[in-house]
Amino acid sequence: MQTDSSFTFVLFGGTGDLSMRKILPALFEAHRAGGMLADSGKIVAVARHVADRAAYIDWVVEHVKPHVSKNGVDETAWASFLDRIEFVKIDLGNPEDFTLLRDALSGRPGIRVFYLATGPSLFVPICRALASVGLNENSRIVLEKPLGYDLKSSNAINDAVGEIFAEEQIYRIDHYLGKEPVQNLLALRFGNVLFEPLWRREWVESIQITIAEELGVEARGDFYDNTGALRDMVQNHLLQLLSIVAMEPPHSMDSDSVRDEKLRVLRALKPIDPRDIGKVAVRGQYHAGVIRGSGVPAYATEPGVKPDSTTETFVAVKVEIENWRWSGVPFFLRTGKRLADRVAEIVVNFRAVPHSALGASALRGGANRLVIRLQPNETIRLYCLAKQPGEGMNLASVHLDLAFDRFFREGQMEAYQRLLLDVINGRLALFVRRDEQEAAWRWVEPILNEWAASNKPPKPYAAGTWGPAAASAMLAQHGTCWLEEEN
């Protein structure tokens, strides 16, 4: 993934947590790898909390370097990376300050990338200010989630940004789409004849997609209490992963072919009748509990959270896709904070054999399954039954493991690194198109509206568990269970 293209990467929110933990470390890894970033490429950080470039470099050394030192820092590469960084002090609330940015970017060759690592309330003002000084031409803009609070507010942002930037200039980022196992899921499905005949309702019993976190809301209480897990995770990450799993083979891997197929999945989601939401959607909120031996507080006592908050920190929802490939196959999506483990995974449970001469274990659904682990360790495992050594025909579950590090000497590329390189090189396939986003909001809104109108509080669950019991009961009604309950 090499490029000779010159670029200027402008980072709004240059002192923010996302910039420090993800964006600048990803750019450093691309720089250290050699050949991924043009030598002439520059990074221009924009912020108002530091005085000048020297102060900003000190800030980067303090806050970014710890996130790139897992395997030791190449000091030569680090020093040359810092040479790429420039700084412009701007008050984003003052459009006149953008003339300073225009002057700093004047005469630079290549494409301009504007990365908005800010709150969504600043997206439109920043875009308008960029246009007012002529910086919306020959440029690309990256929008972080959440993009709006609901369909109406999302459309308002997209309308305003779309007046300034063409759709092919807009990169709505979802970092889960850049993860290596998600890319390998596409390779497994569309590069091998083995899986395609099985990837349909005749052979798949159910599919689970889980994004679980051990952490609570940390310092994001104010933001999270006005957002909740459904908006924060389901509307974007989980529905995007679902569309990747369920999509039809695209004509090619170009941006519109892939996104057209994802859109068809999102438009085929069975609408949820508000009267059925209690049966197909579970919302929960964590109470005090214990994680890895340490006590953690209840969500309602977290800083920035209202004591009587009814915001959900857990969601489990059953999804159905109304098309020939997936009709009748339940997709179970789940996400939550303060759960028992940090894990993101996709579990494809295949149907049991129709008849077995080998005993009841071969007739159990889920005996054959594909588990795509996205975090913390990125792996793909195919589970099947094999005979145990010894007398008799006793079956046991075994797995075939796709261990990337055994087959490929190159280290895996982090999601943000891949996506930032795609932005610089103008590749849109792994970014969310506006019509995809609208389809996702349209499907989620009945749940949002019903929960907002309901007087029922979220179901409680103790921190350090896997969420409310109702989430397990929902799967039990379909004769299945979550993967961790299998044992």
Which residues are the active-site residues? 237
Q: What number of CA atoms fall less than 13 Å from residue 21's CA on the CB side? A: 4
> Binding site annotation covers 232?
yes
What is the Cα–Cα distance from 174 to 327, expressed in whole angstroms? 27
Q: What number of CA atoms fall less than 13 Å from residue 66's CA on the CB side? A: 7
> Binding site annotation covers 213?
yes
Write down the residue that tokens 């976190």 correspond to.
213
What is the Cα–Cα distance from 325 to 199, expressed in whole angstroms? 8
Peptide bond into 446 cis (omega under 30): no
Angle at 38 between CA 34 and CA 39, to 5 degrees: 80
> Binding site annotation covers 342?
no
> Binding site annotation covers 92?
yes
> Binding site annotation covers 351?
no
Angstrom CA distances, 451 to 147, 211, 454, stand at 20, 21, 5
Do 126 and 92 form a contact (C-beta atoms < 8 A)?
yes
Write down the residue that tokens 């290596």 correspond to.
180
Angle between helices 180-191 and 239-246 (to 10 degrees): 20
What is the Cα–Cα distance from 18 to 145, expressed in whole angstroms? 12
Q: Longest C-alpha distance within the chain, in Å?
A: 82
Which residues participate in the annotated binding site for NADP(+)? 48, 91-92, 145
Which positions make up the binding site for substrate? 175, 179, 213, 232, 337
Residues that constitute the known binding site = 48, 91-92, 145, 175, 179, 213, 232, 337
